[in-house]
Structure 1
Amino acid sequence: MATSTVNLSIVNDKVVCADHQAEVCDKCHQSFADINTIARHLKATNGQLPPPGAVLPQRSQQIAKMREDGNTHFRAQRHQEAIASYTNAINVAFDRPLWEPTQLAREELAVLLCNRSAAYIARKEYVNALVDADGVVELKRPWSKGHFRRGRALIGLGRTEEGIEAMRLGLMFDPESAEIQKALKEVEDKIAAEATGGDEDK
């Protein structure tokens, strides 16, 4: 079986194909992204590999600080600044070294995406809010808050029935959630009022 050879070169500390200077090369049908990711993480250790499952406290502290910055901005209704802080934290969490527990990153990302979804909702950027909420549900399905954010985003997009369904699913995971109960009552009352108004107009 014949094999093809790809010439490699190093550009800015990254492996790329020599012919096209690309990390992901469609012409050579090769991707060196994974190799470069591993190399970047190994370089950061200065040759001192931690044991499997070890967590670098500096990264966790950095993520927590950016998350709290986002929360501070959100409480002050500086929603665009909150989105920027959450986005920075998300990028750092996504870039955790491969040897760290994946569950740690999943928990961090679920919270950060959920918070950013709330900031998008506050800015009425419902498409972005829905994308983040879908990510929360994917990462942490039993968490009612992800379904709540998803419901709010869907309702904001005018997909009211889907939004109600999403919130009801959230209530299945957390029947005592006052937040979801209140939101459901508000939207159901609004639908009832609109239906009554429509009948009176006839």
Structure 2
Amino acid sequence: MSTIVDLQIYNDKVVCGQHKNEVCAECHQSFEGINDLARHLKATNGQVPPPGAVLPLRSQQIAKMREEGNTHFRAQRHPEAIIAYTNAINIAFDRPLWEPTGLAREELAVLLCNRSAAYIARKEWVNAYVDAQGVIELKRPWSKGHFRLGKALFGMGRTEEGIEALKLGLMFDPESAEIQKALKEAEAALALEEADA
């Protein structure tokens, strides 16, 4: 049985007519998808590109912000790197719906991985862990995501889980010197923990 919902335009968004909410718990309706599509279509001024088209300006902005983050990271200005990566992530997340999803996934995987590294450098383990998990969700076979996850878990004191993450990363890239080094360090730390117990 279908339900009829009274819709209205309020503050330039589709909302439920009765409660004026974009996401209405009482009506069990969400109009976020419609509003998101409308926002993207409005931004084109009626010039909707064909499916699969990529707006070069957005890609340039993302690349510029990523490089800015990389420059800050190399200079060990980690808070500034995190801000730049976050700005790039926000731009990538806001790609129009008609652009290829693979492009956004690739961009987001790299940006989250870079931001995870900056969080690791600041010993912000939980943030590093969350970003690394995001990388793995977006690009599972990429060893870098597993490396970042292992480092974050190790930093959180979850050494055994960190070792498992690093081993999985090695499965995807058996020649990775950084993963091999991190794995040896983690296994040595675990041996010390077990000897002290």
Note if 1:118 corresponds to 2:117: yes
Summarize the alignment of residues 63-142 of structure 1 with structure 2, pairs less than 5 Å apart. 63-142=62-141
**Residues 190/46 of structure 1: CA separation in 2 closer, same or farther (3 Å cut):** same
Q: Deviations over 1:148-168 (max 9, x none)?
A: 000000001111011011111
**Residues 192/31 of structure 1: CA separation in 2 closer, same or farther (3 Å cut):** closer
1:115 match: secondary structure: helix
**1:190: Cα distance to partner?**
3.5
Which stretches in structure 1 are left out of the alignment for 5+ residues? Answer: none
Take 1:180 and 1:158, find their aligned partners in 2: how far apart are those partners?
Answer: 18
Take 1:101 and 1:77, find their aligned partners in 2: how far apart are those partners?
Answer: 34
Which stretches in structure 2 are left out of the alignment for 5+ residues? Answer: none
70-79 or 113-122, which moves further after superposition? 70-79
12-21 or 105-114, which moves further after superposition? 12-21
CA RMSD, 1 decimal = 1.7
Take 1:65 and 1:43, find their aligned partners in 2: how far apart are those partners?
Answer: 25
Q: Deviations over 1:40-91 (max 9, x none)?
A: 1111111111111100001101111111111111112121121111111111
The list of structure 1 runs, each at least 4 consecutive aligned residues, that deviate by more than 6 angstroms after superposition, is: none
In structure 1, give the amino acid aligned to 2:162: G
**1:195: Cα distance to partner?**
5.8
Q: Deviations over 1:19-54 (max 9, x none)?
A: 222110111211110000110111111111111110
**1:192: Cα distance to partner?**
4.2
Asked whether the 8 Å contact 2:73–2:81 carries over to 1, the reply is: yes
2:96 match: secondary structure: coil
Take 2:173 and 2:93, find their aligned partners in 1: how far apart are those partners?
Answer: 28
Is the radius of gyration larger for structure 1 or structure 2? 1
2:9 match: secondary structure: strand
